[in-house]
Amino acid sequence: MKRLLLLGGVTEALAIARTLGPSHLYSLAGVGRVPTDLNCQVRVGGYGGAEGLARFIQEQGIDLLLDATHPYAAQISQNAATAAQHSGIPCWALRRPAWQAQAGDDWREVSDWAELVKALEPFKRPLFTLGREPLQHLDEIPPEQFWTLRALEVYPGNERCEVIGARGPFHIEDERALFERRQIDVLISKNSGSSATEPKLEVARERGVPVLILKRPVLQEVEREFLTLNETLEALAAFTS
């Protein structure tokens, strides 16, 4: 029986984990919810870099590593590719395709926080949907801006920033209401490619609101890369049978 180590962190990873039996392992960083109703084993926490992960793979007799982490979780993806190579096992990855701009979209790519701040200068009411990073910059909000920041959990904001704690999937009516209530004039997003968070882009399009997109990190190529959950499940079924 082949043994799989599945690195998770996105919805599709949990869907894969639900199909796995007790000899397989589902690995989470520990930043989100940990499911308690799976048949496979669940491991929470880091490995101590690529070397630690390689050691774990060898100790546990893992035959295949499947990287189903978020497209912006570049460190763990790099560690996975390196550790699998050192351990002489294949590394596969589920890599969700990026969203593509459509007619009516005004998307502007930024590489990092400094470029983002510059690109934000003409705007007054940004909606940040990047995770927690903007929380470190609440003291730097320019006097003419009022921020709205959405993260997985609610955190303290200040008089110039409302912080909303919410988890997808998000619905278009709620996104419309949020843009209206906070009078959003620019949206800031990663390009996660997830349908669960896509409605905000539709609302930005409807309202003619520009979107500042944080560039996707370039990830190392691995033995096999899948674009969809179904493709991944089919390949896994063939490998583990």
Give contact residues for ligand NAP (rule: CB under 6 A).
7-10, 27-29, 31, 46-49, 52-53, 69-70, 72-76, 79, 131, 190
Q: How far is the CB of 144 from ligand NAP (least distance, A)?
A: 28
Give the closest residue to 120 by CA, choosing from 157, 99, 149: 149
Tokens matching residue 150: 């959405």
Q: How far is the CB of 226 from ligand NAP (least distance, A)?
A: 16
Q: Which residue lies nearest ligand NAP, judged by its C-beta?
A: 9
Q: How far is the CB of 73 from ligand NAP (least distance, A)?
A: 3
Q: Which is nearer to ligand NAP, 166 or 177 (CB)?
A: 166
Q: Which is nearer to ligand NAP, 69 or 148 (CB)?
A: 69
Beta bridge pairs of residue 128? 149, 188
Give the closest residue to 35 by CA, choosing from 48, 46, 20: 20
Give the closest residue to 29 by CA, choosing from 10, 11, 9, 13: 9
Q: Which is nearer to ligand NAP, 15 or 29 (CB)?
A: 29
Q: Which is nearer to ligand NAP, 183 or 228 (CB)?
A: 228
Which residue intervals of 96-165 are DSSP H helices? 113-119
> 201 near 188, Cβ under 8 Å?
no
Tokens matching residue 32: 């989100």
Q: Which is nearer to ligand NAP, 70 or 179 (CB)?
A: 70
Q: How far is the CB of 35 from ligand NAP (least distance, A)?
A: 13
> 173 near 71, Cβ under 8 Å?
no
Q: How far is the CB of 177 from ligand NAP (least distance, A)?
A: 24
